[in-house]
Structure 1
Amino acid sequence: MRTPPGGITPVRPTTEPAAVDDGHTDTAVVRALRKIRVPQKQRNRELALLVFAFIINGAAVVLVQLGAAGEVDPKFLIYLGVLTALALALHITLRIVARDADPFVVPIATVLTGLGLAMIYRLDVHWGRHGWAAYSNRQLAWAGIALVGAILVVILLRNYRVLFRYTYLFGLAGIVLLILPIIPGLGTDANADVWVSLGFFSFQPGELAKICLAIFFAGYLVRTRDSLTSTGKKFLGFTWPRPRELGPLLVIWLISLGIIVMQRDLGTGLLIFGMFVAMLYVATGKTSWVLMGVILAAAGAFAASRVLPYVHGRFENWLDAFNPKLMDGNSYQLVTGIFGMSKGGLIGTGLGQGRPWLTPVAESDYIFPSLGEELGLIGLFAILCLYMVFTSRGLRIGLNGQDDFGKLLAVGVSFTVALQVVIMVGGVTRLIPLTGLATPFLAAGGSSLVANWIIVAILLRISDAVRSRPRVVIG
């Protein structure tokens, strides 16, 4: 089999029974093998890592309280203890129903969620926000909902291959979720039309749409891979797809541009298009698809920057951020965040000791620079390493899968988290134009937190199936 540049082996059809498993084909041999695996090494390793994550989260909150308020408030620690109990409940659930799931995914998501909570709480202490007006209390509530949702997904999604049956239904759901914010009466008056208000709370449907679209892309590419890998014309050393095979890529490209135009949301458009191109490359192994995707993305971004005032402003702030005329208005947030990270230096000012509140929207869009100011460059590198390990575990789960749908789904959702981090970190550090995405697990926002913990649950289910289903050769 030819291996494309980057070392990723293209997904190939498999003739093993697992490729068409519909959730009801477990053999007596497989069930017997599951019962005799008494030692739960994966779960014991996960428990040890979870304890370490709990210690880090608790210490971060205590340091914030001592640094910002000069005393320890036991009430918030009790709330954090409830969140800890829910994380342990997820661990216990995995011991019962998914004992072979990956042991690193949950601890990494837990420590990232805890660090985000500590910084959001630190900002609430400065501004004197209490009760439901405090972002940290709302984030705690959403974190609890997210963990309960992850537990339910792990319990109810006994076999992730069932999702393959509803490929086009998930695609329709993803499109509907993306359209919701522009429906009169549902959208909010935010800078970008990405929020839906139901009166008593608001949510960002695009966060759930990315999961639905990842399921749709995985199922669609499994069904159409043969036509997409057909031979095209060779040009400049690459085999380019034929015009009729370009249809899916062009449709997703147009949908992404539609999101940018109608919702003024550059981030979600880039995220969806990037996810599709990555999954297309894994499904086909053809580098030409990646090159075509990069060309289309660059052309779309250039055209949008020339035509749309919203996108033009983003590019202007990026290219000329330190212009005094822009610093007094549009680029103030970007420049203040950069100054905050420079103030943190190598080791940071210490939790509760910096001034992250000087940056507007520091608890959501700019939580990464806020953490950089108080944790320093070393702390930011540690956080980025956690994201790197999370993504690598997700890619490993996908590439080790026994069926094409599971491979593409795991790779798709893992790449989505990684791409979201790259877009946000690149934006706040002025490597690329800033967009309005949320930093996964860290930033304040219930929609993002729930969606990312659902991704955790999906990865857990796929990894459990990869490890617990031995290949049985008959004949």
Structure 2
Amino acid sequence: MSDVLTVPKSRRNIEAVLLLLALGVGIGANFIVGLDQDEAFDRDFWTQGATLVGLVLVFHIVLRFRAKYADPVILPIVTALNGIGLAMIHRLDIPMGENGTFADRQLLWSAVAVAAAVAVLFLIKDHRILRRYTYISLIVSAILLLLPLTPLGIEINGARIWINVGSGTFQPGEIAKITLAIFFAGYLSTNRDLILLAGRKVGPLQLPRLKDLGPMVAAWIVSIGVLVFQRDLGSSILFFGLFMAMIYVATSRVSWVLIGLALLAGGGLVAMQLFSHVAMRIDGWLNAFDPEVYNRIGGSYQVVQGLYGLASGGLTGTGLGQGRPDLVQYANSDMIIAALGEELGLFGIFAIVLLYVLLVSRGFRAALGTRDGFGKLLACGLSFTIALQCFVVIGGVTRLIPLTGLTTPFMSAGGSSLLANWIIVALLLLISEAARRPAATGPLTGPMVPAMQESPVGSVQRKTQPREQEVRGA
């Protein structure tokens, strides 16, 4: 009997139903905000609601034609997070009166970010094409990270991570996390065997060769450089954590994690001793309620006010529009989790965290399903980027770790972060589409020609020929 090829369903209709729920969450939150201010159906409500619906509808239609087998859950989750963020930023604009234009900017950046994600879906037919640009991605990453140190760069709140773009600013490091993930995925998928098998075994640990430590040392130098020259603790942690996660996924060697943690601890201790801005962050974390630390410039005022807001929210929150999250500095960007926690309560924060957990797990699911090593590493790296960013942000707001300048993905005010994270979503959807797409219809293999298949480590293996063709006359 001949084998029957089971073609998976596209599940785009399931995605459409979930999108209706996600839009209901985002637009409903905006409606409640306006209802509290007796402006439930004002111009802002209709503009934001219609724009969000239009953007998501366009993205959904594009997926039906360009990636019909893509994961049906990722887009609804991101839509809900983006919608909640827009509602909270709009709510924080209200006390500012005519000066409150952050929601309009966030809506504009949402349109730009979705357009960029759609462009990625059109320009990249298969994610494996990105592997050709492994070292180009490294060069682009270096340029992006160096841009803020040029005359184009500007310093805001002590950190030099932005550049001037016309009348606004842009953070190149947000795009650098994507290009670095592409470089790490390409490098590790190509050199995995050498990194994995070479080296000396000391007890239960397989130690790498000195020359194989080059990429890790380079990632460490980049992270320390960002910390020292740009004074950005959050991005420093993010870049090094990204590399550590990807090299562990590629090798499954605990020794790499131990070496990375040692480098991180050593670099952190030295930086704390030599650089005042690092020492102030640590002091503000350890002694947040000390009056001297609380009242000084760059002290713990921001994080302590955020903790008070979370405490006043309790389990169920004060209700959207009923709290005072505007008392917290940068409540619409760095501290938006504190603002949401005050008005939605612990239950609301749990729901938001659960959405992030589902998003990251769908990214890992795409990594498990795809057939090539490069795609596995890239999906893991991009998913871990979102996970680590959420941990660093929420950990800083709740005083679990020192507060950093990272933004909450898809929710915080900030066009650079929103643009980068929507591009990550597009790449994850491409990888998930490749994971579920029937092999016979792959764009690189052609119909019913699976003669060449990429192994999990990135090498190309030729399909085994029947024994009777190898030995003639046998």
Do 1:387 and 1:418's aligned partners in 2 also have CA atoms closer than 8 Å?
yes
* Alpha-carbon separation, structure 2, partners of 1:425 and 1:352: 22
Q: Which amino acid aligns with 1:313?
A: M
Do 1:188 and 1:197's aligned partners in 2 also have CA atoms closer than 8 Å?
no
Q: Which amino acid aligns with 1:154?
A: L
Aligned to 1:156: 123
Aligned to 1:24: none
Which residue of 106, 111, 120 corresponds with 2:75?
106
Which residue of 150, 154, 157 corresponds with 1:187?
154
* Alpha-carbon separation, structure 2, partners of 1:406 and 1:231: 24
User: How far apart are residue 318 of structure 1 and its match?
Assistant: 0.3
Aligned to 1:168: 135
Aligned to 1:126: 95
**Is 2:242 the counterpart of 1:275?**
yes
**Is 2:80 the counterpart of 1:75?**
no
**Is 2:182 the counterpart of 1:215?**
yes
* Alpha-carbon separation, structure 2, partners of 1:356 and 1:189: 22
Aligned to 1:14: none
Which residue of 389, 399, 419 corresponds with 1:430?
399
* Alpha-carbon separation, structure 1, partners of 2:14 and 2:165: 42
Aligned to 2:170: 203
Q: CA-to-partner distance for each residue in 1:11-30, whole Å, 9 max, x for gaps?
A: xxxxxxxxxxxxxxxxxxxx
SS in 1 for 2:197: coil
* Alpha-carbon separation, structure 2, partners of 1:259 and 1:197: 18
**Is 2:195 the counterpart of 1:228?**
yes
Aligned to 1:60: 29
User: Residues 41 and 220 of structure 1: is their aligned pair in 2 closer, same or farther, counting only changes over 3 Å?
Assistant: closer
Matched length: 437
Aligned to 2:221: 254
**Structure index of larger Rg:** 2
SS in 2 for 1:187: strand
* Alpha-carbon separation, structure 2, partners of 1:442 and 1:185: 27
Aligned to 1:94: 63
The TM-score, its normalising length taken from structure 2, stands at: 0.89
Do 1:79 and 1:140's aligned partners in 2 also have CA atoms closer than 8 Å?
no
User: How far apart are residue 469 of structure 1 and its match?
Assistant: 3.3
User: How far apart are residue 370 of structure 1 and its match?
Assistant: 0.4
Aligned to 1:333: 302
* Alpha-carbon separation, structure 2, partners of 1:399 and 1:254: 31
* Alpha-carbon separation, structure 2, partners of 1:172 and 1:232: 28
Do 2:162 and 2:170's aligned partners in 1 also have CA atoms closer than 8 Å?
yes
Aligned to 2:446: none
* Alpha-carbon separation, structure 2, partners of 1:160 and 1:301: 36
Which residue of 111, 118, 121 corresponds with 1:144?
111
Aligned to 2:86: 117
Aligned to 2:342: 373
Q: CA-to-partner distance for each residue in 1:170-205, whole Å, 9 max, x for gaps?
A: 111011001101102432444200010123221100
SS in 1 for 2:161: coil
Aligned to 2:205: 238
Do 2:366 and 2:428's aligned partners in 1 also have CA atoms closer than 8 Å?
yes
User: Residues 282 and 453 of structure 1: is their aligned pair in 2 closer, same or farther, counting only changes over 3 Å?
Assistant: same
Between stretches 39-48 and 120-129, larger displacement belongs to: 39-48
SS in 2 for 1:229: helix
* Alpha-carbon separation, structure 2, partners of 1:469 and 1:201: 45
User: How far apart are residue 242 of structure 1 and its match?
Assistant: 2.5
SS in 2 for 1:129: helix
Q: Which amino acid aligns with 1:272?
A: F
User: How far apart are residue 399 of structure 1 and its match?
Assistant: 1.9
SS in 2 for 1:450: helix
Consecutive unaligned residues of structure 1, counting only runs of 5 or more, are 1-32
User: How far apart are residue 384 of structure 1 and its match?
Assistant: 0.5
User: How far apart are residue 138 of structure 1 and its match?
Assistant: 0.2
Q: Which amino acid aligns with 1:468?
A: R
Aligned to 2:233: 266
Do 1:186 and 1:198's aligned partners in 2 also have CA atoms closer than 8 Å?
no
Q: Which amino acid aligns with 1:446?
A: G
Q: CA-to-partner distance for each residue in 1:383-420, whole Å, 9 max, x for gaps?
A: 00000010011011012210111111111101001000
* Alpha-carbon separation, structure 2, partners of 1:416 and 1:280: 14
* Alpha-carbon separation, structure 1, partners of 2:263 and 2:223: 11
The TM-score, its normalising length taken from structure 1, stands at: 0.89
Matches within 5 A, 1:276-315: 276-315=243-282
Aligned to 2:418: 449
Aligned to 1:401: 370
* Alpha-carbon separation, structure 2, partners of 1:400 and 1:282: 15
SS in 1 for 2:238: helix
* Alpha-carbon separation, structure 2, partners of 1:168 and 1:320: 44
Do 1:398 and 1:407's aligned partners in 2 also have CA atoms closer than 8 Å?
yes
Do 1:239 and 1:288's aligned partners in 2 also have CA atoms closer than 8 Å?
yes
* Alpha-carbon separation, structure 2, partners of 1:96 and 1:185: 40
User: How far apart are residue 433 of structure 1 and its match?
Assistant: 0.8
User: Residues 338 and 189 of structure 1: is their aligned pair in 2 closer, same or farther, counting only changes over 3 Å?
Assistant: closer
* Alpha-carbon separation, structure 2, partners of 1:150 and 1:453: 6
SS in 2 for 1:195: strand
Do 1:196 and 1:203's aligned partners in 2 also have CA atoms closer than 8 Å?
yes
Aligned to 2:438: 469
Q: Which amino acid aligns with 1:448?
A: S
Q: CA-to-partner distance for each residue in 1:306-330, whole Å, 9 max, x for gaps?
A: 1110100000000000001111231
**Is 2:45 the counterpart of 1:45?**
no
Aligned to 2:427: 458
* Alpha-carbon separation, structure 1, partners of 2:247 and 2:438: 26
Identity among equivalent pairs (%)? 48
* Alpha-carbon separation, structure 2, partners of 1:333 and 1:186: 25
Aligned to 2:353: 384
Consecutive unaligned residues of structure 2, counting only runs of 5 or more, are 441-449, 452-462, 466-474
* Alpha-carbon separation, structure 2, partners of 1:42 and 1:300: 47
